[in-house]
Amino acid sequence: MPDALQPDLVQALLRDCRTIAVVGLSSNPTRPSYRVAAYMQQQGKVIIPVNPHETSVLGEAAYPSLSAVPGRIDLVNIFRRSEEAGAVVDDAIRIKAPAVWLQEGVIDEAAAARARQAGLQVVMDRCWLKEHVRALW
């Protein structure tokens, strides 16, 4: 089922996911990943930056990979090119994350299918910030 036809899933993830690993989060405030993650923080979410090129983003310690993140992750939000998303999804499966969210423009049908097969909830090609703002209306 295409993600566009799963509004209940999108709403549940927006509402229920408190700890969000943002893969590809940049410390550059002009990057979409920074703006979206800053908005997530403003909404009370705990952001975990995952980027091997960063040490800290938005006041949070950055980790080089999902497997290096201590503790539970409710959602893996992916800001990587489509051709790199599959490896991140596979990492999310390995750490037993309950859900992955591939940001707007990030599309990998095979990775999404693997995630669903492994029992993860999947949203693909949707912007977390836009969906959250839409939910407020």
Label residue 100 by pLDDT band (50, 70, 90). Answer: very high
The structure tokens 């992916």 sit at: 78
Q: Map out the domains of the chain with their CATH numbers.
A: 3-136 (3.40.50.720)
Label residue 5 by pLDDT band (50, 70, 90). Answer: low
pLDDT at 103: 97
Q: Rounded mean pLDDT of the chain?
A: 94
Q: Is the pLDDT of residue 97 over 90?
A: yes
Label residue 3 by pLDDT band (50, 70, 90). Answer: very low
The span from the CA of 43 to the CA of 18, in Å, is 10
Between 69 and 4, the more confident residue is 69
Q: Is the pLDDT of residue 1 over 60?
A: no
Average pLDDT (20-35) is 98
pTM: 0.94
Non-local (6+) Cβ contacts of 114 within 8 A are 86, 89, 90, 93
